[in-house]
Amino acid sequence: MTSTSNQKSYIDLLIQYQPKPITTFDEYKEALAVVEGMMSGELTVAETTLFKLLVLLIETYEQENYPMGEPTLAATLESLMHEFDVAPASLVN
């Protein structure tokens, strides 16, 4: 994404990126690339608005194409143990 010194209006950004519902994997990859590029710097108000829109479009595509079931208690515990580097033995008294 452009630096904040280039103050594009939201309309200009919409014209440049033409966001729309994501229907293919290639469109998904393109949207991810734009969002990832936007994450590397400080965004203008217009860029932040576009960023939020693209994230919503990406999330919608992911929910439709990569649905996640409800996590089990065991999976949640395992994930938390891994994230916080907790050994199973430390859970037992």
Q: What is the DSSP string of the chain?
A: ---TTS---HHHHHHHH------SHHHHHHHHHHHHHHTTSPPPHHHHHHHHHHHHHHHHHHHHHS--PPPPHHHHHHHHHHHTT--GGGG--
**Average of pLDDT values for 16-24?**
94
Statement: residue 92 has pLDDT above 90: no
- Alpha carbon 41 to chain centroid, angstroms: 15
Percent of the chain with pLDDT over 90: 73
Across the chain, what does the average pLDDT equal?
89
Q: What's the CA gap between 10 and 47, in Å, rounded?
A: 7
Task: Give the model's pLDDT for residue 68.
Answer: 85
The pLDDT confidence band at residue 6, using thresholds 50, 70 and 90, is low
Task: Give the model's pLDDT for residue 1.
Answer: 45
